[in-house]
Amino acid sequence: MDELSDVIFFATIRELNAKLKSKEFSAEQLVRAFAQRLETLGPRYNALALQLTEPAVRRAREVDKEIKRERFRGPLQGMPFGAKDLLAYPRNPTTWGARPFAGQVFDYTASVIEKLEKTGSVLIGKLAMVELAGGGGYRFAAASMFGPGLNPWDRTRWSGGSSSGSASAVAAGLVPFAIGSETSGSILTPSAFCGVTGLRPTYGLVSRHGAMALSWTLDKLGPMCRSAEDCALVLEHIAGGDSKDPASAGKSFYYTPQFYRKMSDLRIGFAPVDFSEWAQPAARPAFEQALAVVRSTGAQIVEVKLPDLPYGQVISTVISSEGSSVFEQLIATGKVEELADPKQIAGLKAGLEISAKDYLKAMRIRSIVQKELRKMFTGVDVLLSPSRFGPAPKISEPLDQHSSDQPPKDKGLSALIAASNLAGLPALSIPCGFADNLPVAIQLVGLPFSENTLIAVGKEFQNRTDWHRRRPKGS
């Protein structure tokens, strides 16, 4: 097999699909090249949970037969991809990143993988994650049976959690796209830290059948890709109703750029304090420049801030109580002690002590959050804020380490990740520059099922910048 150019490993889905259709290379060649790269470099970033080269090559050969007959299924046909290791794949381990489940094997396929395979996409590997997707809370990046997720831009830095392997693999060019999950920041955070584009869909838009549950009322699955458009192409095929997921919204998603509104018709809300005070000093120039790019699109930029509500406490109560309920047997048998992070062990145990009264109070406040955010969106179409206020921390640093500085009195949109997850809103994280030679990103948040609007803004931003095209040195 001829060696494929390194450029291929950082190409977009549309670019790879065009080359497949023009027969510059075969699906088998593409899959073998990515699979070899994932197998070789995946361990370098602690990103690889399970290599699936043999079944992937068999599927790629089937795709080549289809292409030879000019049976084209769409842009994902022949695309290699990776899946976070909380998604079931039959006859192979699904570890949930945790040693107590190292030998766990399911006899069915997660709906999201099943849907992708129907498009002709090819799963080449399961990707590492924080144990139990962070249930119970964790203090160190090493909270995974695969070790700390290492950032391809600097391996002394964290790749983010809990979809750590998914972000690292896309950033390092080990897969064209990956599937991650988010309960409260687990797609947006690693996407921001690793400089990839990540989409958290509206709650219920993508089936979670076959995915590990952490919080039934918050969990979401979504794509992590090279660009906003790539996220749209993947979402179009993984969205849709599923009777196997009781929380399924029963809605589909169609990527419709031909119907996008003019940027000048869109109202984008932001809080100046997010960019000037909440942002870490090293990241402020990149965030200010990103804001200037958004202004240059002609969109109407208006100042907003979140209502003063206890977003962090509410989402923590919901995740802790639901998560500890999910893992009650793990706790009761004592196998919880096998987890890597002592804080997480203690957190899962403590979650069982949350009273029904406190859980129901949190859910009542959550309904107020949803109502207040709906009010906010009567004045804007999109909310804009930094995805995270600075670059990835060092893997040696405690993740709960707080700055000695006093936080700004004006909270702006600083709690947007918690607030928007509580309300089940979609979000898109897009790279917007660098701080200390590490990627930083902005997030766009919209009303339920407004993914096309977020992608329109993200695509316009990426048409005007090339941050999503940057690649780590040595990759």
DSSP state of 134: G
Q: With H, G, I as helix, E, B as strand and everything else as coil, classify residue 303.
A: strand
Please give the angle made by the CA atoms of 468, 470 and 474, to the nearest 5 degrees: 140
> Is the distance from CB of 255 to CB of 455 less than 8 angstroms?
yes
CA 353 from chain centre, in angstroms, equals 30
Verify whether residue 320 is a known catalytic residue. Answer: no
User: Tokens in use for 49?
Assistant: 């949970």
Query: In sequence order, which residues have a C-beta less than 8 Å from that of residue 153 and are 6 or more positions away?
Result: 171, 194, 195, 392, 437, 438, 439, 472
Q: Fill in the DSSP letter of residue 67.
A: H
Task: Out of 186, 215, 387, 420, pick the active-site residue.
Answer: 186
Closest listed residue to residue 235, CA positions, set 177, 196, 190, 166:
177
**84 an active-site residue?**
yes
E strand residue ranges, 120-176: 122-127, 150-151, 154-158
How many H helices and E strands in the chain? Answer: 15, 13
128's tokens? 């590492």
Determine the straight-line distance between the first and last CA of the chain, rounded to whole angstroms.
21
Rg (CA), the chain: 21
Catalytic-labelled residue, pool 26, 111, 144, 162 = 162
With b meaning 16 or more CB within 10 Å and e meaning fewer, what string describes 248-270? bbeeebebeeeebeebeebebbb
Element (H, E) at 330: helix 328-332
- Per the listing, tokens 């700004």 go with 408
Q: In whole angstroms, give the CA distance from residue 186 to residue 200.
A: 9
In a 10 Å sphere around its CB, with 0-12 CB exposed, 13-18 middle and 19+ buried, how is residue 343 labelled? middle
Q: How many CB atoms lie within 10 A of CB 300?
A: 14
- The values of phi and psi at residue 223, to 5°, are -85, 150
- Strand 154-158 vs strand 150-151: parallel, antiparallel, or unpaired? antiparallel
In sequence order, the 6+-apart residues with CB closer than 8 A to the CB of 309 are 365, 368, 369, 372, 419
Set 84, 115, 126, 459: catalytic member:
84
Q: Give the residue from 445, 400, 399 showing the smallest Cα distance to 419.
A: 445
Residue numbers annotated as active site: 84, 162, 186
